[in-house]
Amino acid sequence: MKDFPYSESKDTRSGFGAGLLELGRTNPNVVALCADLVGSLKMGDFIKEFPERFFQVGIAEANMIGIAAGMTIGGKIPFTGTFANFSTGRVYDQIRQSVAYSGKNVKICASHAGLTLGEDGATHQILEDIGMMKMLPHMTVINPCDFNQTKAATIAIADYEGPVYLRFGRPVVPNFTPADQKFEIGKALMLNEGKDVTILATGHLVWKAILAGKLLEEQGIDAEIINIHTIKPLDTEAILASVRKTGCVVTAEEHNYMGGLGESVARVLAQQLPTPQEFVAVQDTFGESGTPEQLMEKYGLNEQSIVDAAKRAIARKQ
Amino acid sequence: MNPFNYDADQLLNVAHQVRRDIVRMVHAVNSGHPGGSLGCTEFLVTLYFRQMTHDPAFNMNGIGEDLFFLSNGHISPVWYSVLARAGYFDPKELATFRKLNSRLQGHPATEEGLPGIRIASGSLGQGPSVAIGAAQAKKLNNDNSLVYVLTGDGELEEGQIWEAAMYAPHHKVDNLIWTVDYNGQQIDGPVDAVMSLGNLRAKFEAFGWKVLNCDNGNNFASLIPVLDEAKSLSGQGQPICILMNTQMGYGVDFMMGSHKWHGVAPNDAQLEQALVQLKETLNDY
């Protein structure tokens, strides 16, 4: 099992803030909008340096999405910022009509996704956003795993013409992605090659998958770990190549199993390579208040859950 | 500069043909929304044939052009007819309205690439937000042209409308002219019976808009001075709102003043009855 050294743990939302600041300096068409959460979204540095390119919308997310869509018509590249819940469920119809169906170059940047938002509870812990966004034609869905990858993804999506949903979160997690690693939309990242089971993880579950890989190694299981930072378009080639080798798969995500990465992978495998698959995901429930660690344990989203799922998947191999 | 710069007589000539187009289009597919389309004919004809600086060669980004957004997308027949008659596409294409493989979708869309359409609309309440964004992008681009948006009056029941109404004055979006088609009708009946709007002028003024009233949006003599005044008030720190009184179904006697023709197409006999009232001025498509 490869080692993944890191010097510090940081939050992915700060990676977004750092990426946005860099974009401000390099791309004059980038503008930012926020619905009264600039601190939470780490947009402060951008606002300080580019006040004329920042638009405070107030607590009016529907309006924010519409304004962003309109700005693209003049050639601007708007990055909207609010919590994942208010970035998706609250404004689904606005995104559907004014952004996705209209093919507008809006970057919907969503923080505090999933259970790791923590104590605020289920009203704010959206676990359905990946599903909602991936169902929209034209939409790209990205869920990076750490600070460096979120920063790189933020920068990369400005160069891509089309609507993007960028999902990140609140907790600090090990920042192990090399700072100079280029972000390629739709290209899965091989983290550790193995032969017994494929673990496909996204977002905060990528680090959990690495921890699980080490635990599995101690038990003599050689896990292949792949970071699926882009859920749509899905890197089916990389997934199929891995599963052909290992013969079973675990998907891991901070999301309801309905509509998430797991179902996207299952569709590909069902059509092209039927394979035993286990899902590490929330089991169609809402979350609740608690610390991020407590919640990830209670809802089965930690390294031990991945280890258990890997063993179940291996046991199901013919 | 408008590419036509028509006077009231020339505008009326176009309006007659646009009304013929509208009733023929909805009749042909036995669906669509003639009422609001007929009621807003003078408004759209005036924008495209007199008021707006625009280029029928169509560039999506509209740099240097005045932009129009139709928030109440269901009145697509009037917009399609006006765009075609202004040269955005061949009027013959109006015959494909609402048919399979057409660029003229039931509600306006960009997906099929119809020239003149910059965003999809139909799900109500979204147009003012989009128009604000386009207007602010113009400011960032140092582009002095204007952005127009039309909404219905029933549409004002949508919550997003008031988010936009609050935002534009706060951010001094003064290159924006929002017209409300104040016909007092919506699908389920008179607006005041469904959900009364109260003192609309006072509401917009309280939000910080400069509000103009158009007594009769179906009369060029009433409409043109108001649109001219709106333009002259732009760039003064306030967004502009026009409350435009119209009659749903205007120009076809049996469709006028009732919500019943909001989304109903005429049958063969009714089409004939409508067409005898509407002079063919620019050749039927």
Determine, for residues B61 and A75 on separate chains, whether the beta-carbon distance falls below 8 Å. yes
Helices vs. strands in chain A: H and E counts, helices first: 12, 14
Which domain range does residue A309 map to?
189-315
Q: Tell me the percentage of chain B whose pLDDT exceeds 70.
A: 100
Query: With helix as H, strand as E and coil as C, how does chain B read?
Result: CCCCCCCHHHHHHHHHHHHHHHHHHHHHHCCCCHHHHHHCHHHHHHHHHHHCCCCCCCCCCCCCCCEEEECCHHHHHHHHHHHHHCCCCCHHHHHHCCCCCCCCCCCCCCCCCCCCCCCCCCCCCCHHHHHHHHHHHHHHCCCCCCEEEEEECHHHHCHHHHHHHHHHHHCCCCCEEEEEEECCEECCEEHHHHCCCCCHHHHHHHHCCEEEEECCCCCHHHHHHHHHHHHHHCCCCCCEEEEEECCCCCCCHHHCCCHHHCCCCCCHHHHHHHHCCCCCCCCCC
Residues A201 and A277 in one domain: yes
pLDDT tens digits for B35-49?
999 999 999 999 999
Query: What is the pLDDT, as a whole number, of residue A95?
Result: 98
pLDDT recorded at residue B215: 98
Residue A150 pLDDT:
98
Q: Do B133 and A31 touch (CB under 8 A)?
A: no
Q: Could you tell me if A243 and A149 lie in one domain?
A: no
Q: How far is A15 from chain B (nearest CA, A)?
A: 27
- State the Cα–Cα distance between residues B122 and B101, nearest whole angstrom: 19
A61 in catalytic set: yes
Residue of chain B whose Cα is closest to the Cα of A73: B61
Instruction: Count CB pairs under 8 A between chains A and B.
Output: 118
In 3D space, the residue among A113, A277, A279, A283 whose CA is nearest the CA of residue A203 turns out to be: A113
Residue B259 has pLDDT above 90, yes or no: no
Asked if A284 contacts A256 with a C-beta cutoff of 8 angstroms, the reply is: yes
Question: How many domains is chain A built from?
Answer: 2
* Average pLDDT, integer, range B85-111: 98
A280/A134 same-domain check:
no
Please write the tens of the pLDDT for every residue from A285-303.
Answer: 999 999 999 999 999 999 9
pLDDT exceeds 90 at position B192: yes
Distance CA B106, CA B99 (A): 8
In this structure, is residue A117 part of a structural domain? yes
For A36-118, where are the alpha helices, taking DSSP H only?
A: 44-49, 61-73, 84-87, 92-94
Element (H, E) at A252: strand A249-256
3-state secondary structure of A317: coil
Distance CA A13, CA B52 (A): 43
Tell whether the model's pLDDT for residue B173 goes beyond 90: yes
Question: Which chain A positions have a beta carbon within 8 Å of B133's beta carbon?
Answer: 66-73, 78
User: How far is Cα B92 from Cα B102, in angstroms, rounded to an integer?
Assistant: 12
pLDDT per residue as tens digits for the range B271-280:
999 999 999 9
The answer to whether residue A181 is domain-embedded is no
Whether A90 is in a domain gets the answer yes
Assess B110–A contact: CB distance below 8 Å, yes or no.
Answer: yes
Those residues of chain A that have pLDDT short of 70 are: none
CA distance linking residue A163 with residue B141, whole number of Å: 22
Point out the residue among B122, B134, B141 whose CB comes nearest to the CB of A97.
B122
What pLDDT score was predicted for residue B89? 98
Asked, for residue A3, whether it belongs to a domain, the answer is no
By C-alpha distance, which of B154, B135, B180, B209 is closest to B43?
A: B180
Which positions in chain A touch B138 (Cβ < 8 Å)?
74
DSSP structure string for A182-214? PP-TT--EEEE--SSEEEEE-TTHHHHHHHHHH
B160 and A CB contact within 8 Å? yes
Q: Does B132 touch chain A (CB under 8 A)?
A: yes
- Does A1 map to a domain? no
Domain closes at, from A105, A139, A174: A174
- pLDDT value, residue B123: 98
A98 vs B60, B126, B138: nearest CB: B126
CB-CB neighbors (< 8 A) of B69 in chain A: 70
pLDDT at B7 > cutoff 90:
yes
Taking a C-beta distance cutoff of 8 angstroms, is the pair B48, B83 a contact? yes
The residue of A61, A63, A65, A106 whose CB has the most chain B CBs within 10 angstroms, and thus the best one to mutate to test that interface, is A63
Q: Is the pLDDT of residue B258 over 90?
A: no
Both A214 and A242 in one domain: the answer is yes
The CATH number for A161's domain is 3.40.50.970
pLDDT tens digits for range A24-44: 999 999 999 999 999 999 999
Calculate how close chain B gets to A170, using CA atoms only, in Å.
28
Q: How far lies B43's CA from each of A69, A155, B148, in Å?
A: 25, 44, 11
**pLDDT, averaged across chain B:** 97
Same domain for A149 and A37: yes
Residue A165 lies in a domain: yes
Would you call A139 helix, strand, or coil by DSSP? coil
Euclidean distance between the first and final Cα of chain B, in Å? 28
Statement to judge: residues A135 and A265 lie in one domain: no
CB-based contact (8 Å) between B156 and chain A?
no
Q: Which one of A62, A69, A101 has the shortest CB-CB distance to B133?
A: A69
Question: How would you classify residue A273: left for phi > 0, otherwise alpha for psi between -120 and 50, otherwise beta?
Answer: beta
Closest residue, chain A, to B168 (C-alpha): A57
The tokens describing A248, both together, are 């079973």
Amino acid A148: pLDDT: 98
Chain B partners within 8 Å of A97 (Cβ): 120-123, 126
Q: Are residues A63 and A115 in the same domain?
A: yes
Residues A94 and A216 in one domain: no
Rounded to an integer, the average pLDDT of B94-108 is 98
Q: Which of A63, A96, A102 sits opposite B163 (nearest CB)?
A: A63
Q: Are A166 and A194 in the same domain?
A: no
A295 to chain B, closest Cα gap in Å: 35
Specify the fold of B8-275.
Rossmann fold (3.40.50)
What is the nearest CA distance from A61 to chain B, expressed in angstroms?
A: 9
pLDDT at residue A160, as a whole number: 98
B8–chain A Cβ distance below 8 A for any pair: no
Pair A113, A203: CB distance under 8 Å: yes
Mean pLDDT of B138-157: 98
Residue A270 parent element (H or E): helix A261-272
Both structure tokens of A139: 């939409």
CB B108 within 8 A of CB B117: yes
Nearest-CB residue to A66 (from B130, B140, B170): B130
Assigned token pair, A133: 């966004």
pLDDT for the residue B280: 97
Q: Which of A174, A203, A224 is the last residue of a domain?
A: A174
Mutate: best of A97, A107, A138, partner B, most B CBs <10 A: A97
Which residues on chain B are in Cβ contact (under 8 Å) with A96?
123
Residue A110 domain-assigned (yes or no): yes
Over the Cα atoms of chain B, what is R_g? Answer: 17
Domain map of chain B by residue range?
8-275
Residues A193, A291 share a domain: yes
Contact of B6 with B49, CB cutoff 8 Å = yes
CATH code at position A240: 3.40.50.920
Q: Is A169 helix (H, G, I), strand (E, B) or coil?
A: coil
- Name the domain boundary from A125, A140, A174: A174
Which of A22, A61, A128, A303 is flagged as catalytic?
A61
